């Protein structure tokens, strides 16, 4: 590492900024308008996260986070080659699915992926088996040795696979403990 500028970013991260490469959160409306893109910045940032690749990261913040940087010009060029109306439909459907009211009372098994903040300021990525009920995933947290629940439409949460029956890799004891917790919450026997 070439050093740090103040407490916000490394020298290499600052150099990347001046060369037009930025983290998604730093891309502005003015940045994309320079390259002929005239859509909401929220929509464009979603596009970058979902469809653009980055092979460059730099240290940022006083916690030395590893932050991915994207070439704004390349992302804009790639965006302009897409069917924008089709992309908007996908974007809107994903936004709508984040705000669905869950009324189905039938729990199901799932393989979930989520991340949590670490004490150093980074993120730890976790893959685990869970039971999903309504808008919650109930997961055995091995670190705390307890069952936790995560909102399934949360920012750092994804259901990778769903199952009709308990996956072999999920112990029966864990499944029973989760079902007991769900019945206490809902007041209905599982």
Between CA 124 and CA 134 the distance in angstroms is 25
pTM: 0.52
What does pLDDT average to in each consecutive run of 10 residues of the chain (190 residues)? 68 80 91 96 91 80 74 95 92 66 73 82 84 89 84 83 89 89 72
Residues 79-97 as b or e (16 or more Cβ within 10 Å = b):
beeeeeeebeeebeeeeee
Would you state the pLDDT for residue 61?
A: 65
Contact 7, 62 (CB under 8 A): yes
């Amino acid at each position: 590492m070439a050093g740090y500028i103040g407490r916000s970013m490394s020298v290499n991260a600052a150099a990347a900024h001046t060369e037009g490469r930025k983290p998604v959160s730093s891309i502005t409306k003015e940045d994309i308008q320079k390259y002929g893109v005239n859509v909401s910045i929220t929509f464009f940032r979603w596009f970058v996260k979902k469809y653009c690749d980055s092979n460059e990261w730099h240290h940022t913040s006083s916690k030395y986070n590893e932050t991915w940087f994207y070439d704004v010009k390349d992302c804009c060029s790639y965006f302009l080659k897409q069917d924008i109306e089709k992309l908007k439909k996908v974007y809107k459907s994903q936004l709508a699915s984040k705000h669905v009211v869950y009324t189905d009372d039938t729990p199901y098994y799932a393989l979930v992926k989520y991340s949590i903040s670490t004490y150093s300021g980074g993120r730890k990525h976790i893959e685990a088996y869970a039971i999903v009920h309504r808008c919650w995933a109930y997961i055995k947290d091995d670190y705390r040795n307890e069952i936790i629940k995560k909102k399934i439409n949360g920012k750092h949460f994804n259901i990778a696979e769903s199952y009709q029956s308990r996956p072999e890799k999920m112990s029966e004891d864990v499944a029973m403990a989760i079902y007991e917790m769900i019945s206490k919450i809902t007041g209905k026997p599982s």
